[in-house]
Structure 1
Amino acid sequence: MFGQVSLAVFLFGSAYAGTTIWSGSFNPFPTVSAFDDWSWADEVGTYQWYIHGTEPTSHYLALSPSYKNPADTAETNGLMVTIDSTAEWNSDMERTELIPQTTENLGTGNLFYHFSLSTDPAGLNVPDSTLEHQILFFESHFTEIKYGVAPTPTDLQWMVSSQFQWGTPLVPGTWYNFAYDIDFTAQTVGLWFSTGGSPLTQVANNIAAPTSTNSEDFHVGVLRIVNTPAPENWYISGVYIENGPITTAIGSGNSTGSSSSSSSSSATSVTSTPTTTISTPSSTPTATVPEYGQCGGTGYTGPTACASPFTCTAISAPYYYQCL
């Protein structure tokens, strides 16, 4: 029912600095039943949908404006991904995952894989930090977000080939925006990050990694290592892949809730070359950052003073500082 969708639907106006080569927007899906239109016999739409349990699609996927980053005004809905004991896939692991359906080459040059993550603000069906989770990962796991693993199980942690590189506490209701900076030519990967509607900044420099993809092995979803009955819900929005320069803006830059208060109404065009400029708290701030908001780090240009009684704390110096 889908066919090829015009790139104009996905470029979201002038806010984008790079060229979007594949969009994982959920706008083409009026209901979750539309994901079932895809099959190996009829590979339509923008996502392959086959890694899930035996229950109907509506058991594992749900669409709602409540499941998207409020700053991402181009998206109508976000996606809630559910895993539970019924989501067993080829082993005792639980998996609910979408995969790009595309003819584009998603593994050449310097590409930026964007996505936003959150969990229920009321703390419903929250992830279990005692269980290992692999989130938005490649089949070879050369880059991924993990949760429930060392060194800090309660953090969202960026891993490269299973080695910890960077992390931030997972707080229900906070939106976490990521972009994998993957140079398939140089065989390196780095990370860009922000919360809420704040623009992305590079929080980890590119490092060597066995970067490769067949363009159909980026898993937009969650894998939970141990099978357990407890359901968990993860919210995903803002999924797209672009050819640089990176787009740092998150939609309109406006967001509500417990995420960062800094905003941007247009994109900042930057390259993946690391910068040595580091923002530190100012003695004469013009705005304050709420708890868990970003307050400093490499390339950061937003407010640096934290609302009382919070302190701007180094999470991954010199790349990222947060009000805690």
Structure 2
Amino acid sequence: MFQRAFIKRRESRSFITGLCTVADFDNWSWSNEVGEYQWYIHGSQPTSHYLALDPSYKNPADTAETHGIKMTIDTGATWNSQMERAELIPQTSQNLGTGNLFYHFSVKRSATNPPDSTLEHQVCFFESHFTELKYGVAPNPSDLQWMVGGVAKWGTPFTADTWFNFAYDIDFSAGTVGLWASTGGSPLTKVVQNIAASTSTNSEDWHLGVLRIVNGGGPEDWYFSGVFIESGPITTAIGDGSSSGTSVPPTSAPTTAPPVTSAPTTTPPPVTTTTTAPTPAQSQWGQCGGTGWTGPTTCTGTFKCVAVSPPYYYQCQ
């Protein structure tokens, strides 16, 4: 499923062939840190309860991969708190936080075990949450929304059985982050130009997976494909690019974004963004603080801002 070297150069598309079964993820442990991904943020069930590998789980446009991965969360996926989590983290000695890097992944849901839009989800994020996707949050709970410092900058309806392709365009040197996106097999286009962010990583705090804030609701299946990290210039093709797809439109009337900070390899269409001002106070189970957080820091009603994973994450409880 995943690439052998985390930082991919344009002339190389070698992918891991050793991950043939879910049991291969269990070869990693704190006493035996082998392989490309750490698998320890999950519930107490066997790995096969949360992860599944299969050719049908990948974006068919990506012919370079053998398998995609299905991640399942449910009320048994509790890890160190009331949150439900299933996540993979890089196991690498490479520096994944310097210069201009592009964090690629594709995500999909189906009509079976769909995500609950009434509950907040954090998807493919860094420990400090300086950038991430969210689902089940205002202003459009049924959209996948790209966030910078907890503020929505772009979103699209999270329709079933559609592959949504993304690349986080992170300039760690300049302290900026932008977004590339498409659906299906269409090439990535830049949908949000780079904006200022508290970019930082220790190279092993990139969380590939999903965190559901509240331990409740039914089981959910999330599908991931096309996961790799590269230095610039960006690779915009999804696999061989032969499948049908579209550039992903924003959900509401956009405004012009600031100039791009680094030249892409292809000329994108006019760049647009949407912005949403943070609310004066955060609701129950919402984020209220942490490293790089620029959203609300007070809670509604009698809820208090509690340190869940200090200094990175605080939550209204």
What's the TM-score once normalised by structure 1's chain length?
0.75
Matched, 1:83 2:73: yes
Per the alignment, in what secondary structure is the counterpart of residue 210 of structure 1? coil
Instruction: Specify whether residues 30 and 209 from structure 1 end up closer, same or farther in structure 2 by C-alpha distance, changes over 3 A only.
Output: same
Matched, 1:140 2:128: yes
- Rounded to whole Å, the distance in 2 between the matches of 1:72 and 1:271 is 28
Percentage identity across aligned positions?
Answer: 66
What is residue 213 of structure 1 aligned with on the other side?
201
CA shift digits 1:43-88 (9 cap, x unpaired) = 1000000000000000000001111100010110100000000000
Is the contact made by 2:7 and 2:231 (CA closer than 8 Å) also made in structure 1? no
Per the alignment, in what secondary structure is the counterpart of residue 87 of structure 1? coil
Q: Which runs of 5+ in 1 are unaligned?
A: 263-269, 280-296, 299-314, 318-324
- Rounded to whole Å, the distance in 2 between the matches of 1:85 and 1:150 is 23
Is the contact made by 2:166 and 2:179 (CA closer than 8 Å) also made in structure 1? yes
Matched, 1:190 2:183: no
- Rounded to whole Å, the distance in 1 between the matches of 2:168 and 2:11 is 14
What is residue 302 of structure 2 aligned with on the other side?
none
Number of residue pairs matched by the alignment: 260
What is residue 46 of structure 1 aligned with on the other side?
36
Shift of 1:273: 3.8
Q: Which runs of 5+ in 2 are unaligned?
A: 249-259, 275-317
Shift of 1:219: 0.3
Instruction: Specify whether residues 229 and 149 from structure 1 end up closer, same or farther in structure 2 by C-alpha distance, changes over 3 A only.
Output: closer
Is the contact made by 1:196 and 1:260 (CA closer than 8 Å) also made in structure 2? yes
What is residue 235 of structure 1 aligned with on the other side?
223
Shift of 1:26: 5.8
What is residue 10 of structure 2 aligned with on the other side?
17
Is the contact made by 1:198 and 1:260 (CA closer than 8 Å) also made in structure 2? yes
Is the contact made by 1:205 and 1:274 (CA closer than 8 Å) also made in structure 2? no
1:1-324 to 2 correspondence within 5 Å? 17=10, 27-120=17-110, 123-255=111-243, 259-260=245-246, 272-273=262-263, 279=269, 297-298=270-271, 316=273
- Rounded to whole Å, the distance in 1 between the matches of 2:75 and 2:213 is 11
Instruction: Specify whether residues 278 and 238 from structure 1 end up closer, same or farther in structure 2 by C-alpha distance, changes over 3 A only.
Output: closer
Q: CA RMSD in A?
A: 2.6
Give 1:260's aligned amino acid.
Answer: T
Per the alignment, in what secondary structure is the counterpart of residue 76 of structure 2? helix
- Rounded to whole Å, the distance in 2 between the matches of 1:271 and 1:174 is 30
- Rounded to whole Å, the distance in 2 between the matches of 1:316 and 1:128 is 26
Give 1:33's aligned amino acid.
Answer: A
Instruction: Specify whether residues 157 and 56 from structure 1 end up closer, same or farther in structure 2 by C-alpha distance, changes over 3 A only.
Output: same
- Rounded to whole Å, the distance in 1 between the matches of 2:42 and 2:158 is 24
Per the alignment, in what secondary structure is the counterpart of residue 85 of structure 1? coil
Is the contact made by 1:143 and 1:159 (CA closer than 8 Å) also made in structure 2? yes
Per the alignment, in what secondary structure is the counterpart of residue 226 of structure 1? coil
Is the contact made by 2:55 and 2:68 (CA closer than 8 Å) also made in structure 1? yes
Shift of 1:272: 3.0
CA shift digits 1:239-291 (9 cap, x unpaired) = 111010011011111226xx4399xxxxxxx983489x775xxxxxxxxxxxx
Is the contact made by 1:245 and 1:271 (CA closer than 8 Å) also made in structure 2? no
- Rounded to whole Å, the distance in 2 between the matches of 1:38 and 1:278 is 40
Per the alignment, in what secondary structure is the counterpart of residue 180 of structure 2? strand
Is the contact made by 2:122 and 2:132 (CA closer than 8 Å) also made in structure 1? yes
What's the TM-score once normalised by structure 2's chain length?
0.76
